[in-house]
Amino acid sequence: MYHDPVLLKESIEGLNIKEGGIYVDTTYGGGGHSREILERLGNGSLIAFDQDKDALENKPDDSRLILINQNFRFMKNFLKLYKADPVDGILADLGVSSHQFDKAERGFSIRFDAELDLRMNRNKSFTARDIVNEYSLRRLKEVFQNYGELKNAWKISQMIETARKDREITTTKQLKEILAKAAKVGQENKFYARVFQALRIEVNDELGSLKAMLVQTTEVLKEGGRLVVISYHSLEDRLVKNFIKSGNFEGEIEKDFYGNPLVDFKLINRKPIVPTEEEILKNNRARSAKLRIAEKI
């Protein structure tokens, strides 16, 4: 398996799939969620996106599926191109697939020594290596503080700046060795995971892409259409939560002259749905997942 789809049953039920409908899977990956959608779709259609070329190898021979090798931030343009809007539902399983973590050369995992890469789209030239070697001390601190939520972001940045004066930092092992003294004893893996998360988000502009996609959902979803999002860390979840609640990323609900809230979505679940203990035991990747479901008004 490319990877086990997280919260599969809950997310597919959240889409409330209608036979003959048009659906979007913004993060195709191994195609696990897409296959479930196709099982229930009848003669409908599914438009899927994935910027990682490896995902294209998982495409089934099914004429109802169009798989687009692009970032989901371009969703609206491609839906218009294929005359597929408005749609009945949009699914987004955010984060990194198990396949990407397990391919050592991609540099996503702290388990392997590899080039500092972290690109989802390998056609782009900008990598984590560029960040650690070229960003100013101030920009490094912002990346680690904002995207890794690391309290010692300034210290981490100083350690990198000092080390790169001697030689270029090119591998994940080098970076871990440079930052070893910044990790709390017993919490090394958690620390490195946050460092790599921060670099990955910056390399791929993940939060910018997520914002762009969410804004487009209000334009391409039909009334009664569902938005289903699985996030894996607080930065993503906060954006999703605020957007479906208020239509903006600050979470501030605007009201009309009469005091009625101006919102685009109705919340289907007030609190995020999380995996069961059983699912986490079977698939450790699911441990931090949060599922939010909303319906277009």
Structural domain of 221: 8-98+206-296
The pLDDT of residue 187 is above 90: yes
- As a whole number of angstroms, the distance between CA 222 and CA 220 comes to 7
CATH of the domain at 255: 3.40.50.150
Distance CA 28, CA 32 (A): 8
Pair (109, 194) in one structural domain: yes
Average pLDDT over residues 95-117: 69
214-261 pLDDT, tens digit each: 999 999 999 999 999 999 999 999 999 999 999 999 999 999 999 999
Q: pLDDT band at 172, cuts 50/70/90?
A: very high
Task: Examine the pLDDT at 102 and tell me if it is beyond 80.
Answer: no
Tell me, yes or no, whether 292 and 249 share the same domain: yes
**Rounded CA gap, 235 and 218, in Å?**
21
Would you tell me how many other CB atoms lie within 10 Å of the CB of residue 35?
18
* 91 contacts 221 by C-beta, under 8 angstroms: no
Q: Are 98 and 4 in contact (CB under 8 A)?
A: yes
pLDDT at 21 over 80: yes
Q: What is the pTM of this model?
A: 0.93
Q: How far apart are CA 48 and CA 65, in angstroms?
A: 7
pLDDT confidence of 162, banded at 50, 70, 90?
very high
pLDDT band at 108 (very low <50, low <70, confident <90, very high): low
Q: Is residue 210 domain-shared with residue 199, that is, in the same domain?
A: no
Helix (H, G, I), strand (E, B) or coil at 165: helix
- In tens, the pLDDT along 250-294 reads 999 999 999 999 999 999 999 999 999 999 999 888 999 999 999
- The pLDDT score that the predictor gives to residue 1 is 46
Cβ–Cβ < 8 Å for 10, 288: no
Q: How far apart are the C-alpha atoms of 122 and 278, rounded to whole Å?
A: 35
Residue 2 lies in a domain: no
Q: Are 202 and 131 in contact (CB under 8 A)?
A: yes
Which 3 state secondary structure label does DSSP give 47?
A: strand
DSSP string, 66-121: EEE-S-GGGHHHHHHHTT--SEEEEEEE-S--HHHHH-GGG---TTS--BS---SS
**Residue closest to 228 by CA, chosen among 98, 94, 100, 95:** 94
Q: How confident is the model at residue 97, as a pLDDT?
A: 59
Residue type, 268: I
pLDDT of residue 96: 74
Please give the pLDDT value at position 171. 95
The whole-number pLDDT of residue 95 equals: 74
Write down which residue in 204, 234, 258 finishes a domain: 204
Same domain, 112 and 52: no
| CATH number reported for the structural domain that contains residue 149 in this entry | 1.10.150.170
pLDDT range class, residue 100, cuts 50, 70, 90: low
Cα gap 34→89, rounded to integer Å: 12
Residue 113 in any domain: the answer is yes
Q: Average the pLDDT over each of 20-34, 71-85, 96-110, 134-148 and give the range with the smallest value.
A: 96-110
Q: Are residues 177 and 56 in the same domain?
A: no
* 3-state SS, residue 248: coil
> Across residues 38-62, what is the average pLDDT?
94
Instruction: From 33, 90, 34, select the one nearest 219 (Cα to Cα).
Output: 90
* 3 domain residue, yes or no: no
DSSP 61: S
Q: Are residues 119 and 130 in contact, defined by beta-carbon separation less than 8 angstroms?
A: no
Q: Are 93 and 213 members of one domain?
A: yes
The residue among 118, 104, 133, 141 whose CA lies nearest residue 199 is: 118
Q: Does 183 lie in the same domain as 229?
A: no
